[in-house]
Amino acid sequence: MLEVRQLSQRFGTFTAVDRVSFTVTAGQIVGLLGPNGAGKTTLLSMLVGLLPPTSGSILLNGEELQRVPSRKKAFFGFVPDSQDVVDHLTGLEYLQFLRHIYRLSEEQWNLVGDYLALLRLEEKAHHLLETYSHGQRKKLQVIAALLHQPRLLLLDEPLSGLDPEMTILVKRLLRRLRERGVGVLISTHDLLMAQDLCDEVILLHQGQVVAQGAQQALLEHYGVANLEEAFLQALGLAQQEKELDRVLARF
Ligand SMILES: Nc1ncnc2c1ncn2[C@@H]1O[C@H](COP(=O)(O)OP(=O)(O)OP(=O)(O)O)[C@@H](O)[C@H]1O
């Protein structure tokens, strides 16, 4: 459903994303991992059409993204990492705005009450977005990404700011959507969540893919028991404990 080929993004002479290739198929959750500045958000910005790639291609169901009519872009739902929403609207007004953008059917719109109840936002939906907490904004962004029932979800730190109940709920929701054939790409720093949820992972470092594939294959490749260890190994950070010893010796 999503195929990324040799995708690059340069800002002047700096290469933020460097010839990255991967696929997300129906019913698959793929984790996009990497340290700060690795290029995850830049990559997602290209995937949702916010940033034209410097080179490479993005295929949505075999069609070049640039050639996909905007109507068909409703194929995906996006949860951005940024907290930018239209502050002078209430949560419900914001969702109503999306209702028109996506030309939602009555049936789709009727689900909004259920989503708000599920994510504990019924009360808050009538208040201005400027009064929302970080987690409340994130929850509204999750609803906004689901309203039009996309077949592909692109999520940038979807659990950031969520409380434990909501974290568990959103993880369950993503598993249920996977069962229904939805493809999911999640960019995250949360390696435990990635280990828990993702079928495959892509590890980015300085814009390049340093490891990629099914979790189990990755753990076997690095001879480690969990994704945290694999992450440190793949990035050459396995000396972290020794570095800590050296610094803390003078503490
Ligand atoms: N508009 C821009 N102009 C110049 N450099 C940029 C621009 N946007 C991003 N960068 C740089 O590109 C690199 C990748 O940034 P990006 O935000 O994609 O990383 P990230 O993996 O999402 O990081 P984090 O985990 O910290 O959110 C960083 O070095 C960043 O400073």
Write the pLDDT tens digit of every residue in 175-219.
Answer: 999 999 999 999 999 999 999 999 999 999 999 999 999 999 999
Determine, yes or no, domain membership for 185.
yes
Determine, yes or no, domain membership for 130.
no
Range of the domain at 163: 2-83+150-249
* Dihedral of alpha carbons 210, 212, 215, 221, sign: negative
* Dihedral of alpha carbons 214, 215, 216, 222, sign: positive
Residue owning the nearest CA to atom 12 of ligand 1: 16
DSSP 150: -
Determine, yes or no, domain membership for 12.
yes
Q: Where are the beta strands (DSSP E) in 34-174?
A: 55-60, 63-64, 76-79, 152-156
Determine, yes or no, domain membership for 108.
no
Out of 41, 188, 204, 209, give the residue to mutate to test ligand 1, the one with the largest number of ligand atoms within 8 Å of its CB.
41
Write the pLDDT tens digit of every residue in 33-91.
Answer: 999 999 999 999 999 888 999 999 999 988 888 877 776 667 889 988 876 667 789 99
Out of 9, 10, 11, 54, give the residue to mutate to test ligand 1, the one with the largest number of ligand atoms within 8 Å of its CB.
11
pLDDT of residue 14: 96
CATH number for 32: 3.40.50.300
Q: Quick check: ipTM above 0.95?
A: yes
List, in sequence order, every residue forming a beta bridge with 154; answer none if it has no partner.
78, 185
* Dihedral of alpha carbons 186, 27, 48, 138, sign: negative
The domain tally of the chain equals 1
Write the pLDDT tens digit of every residue in 144-162.
Answer: 999 999 999 999 998 988 9
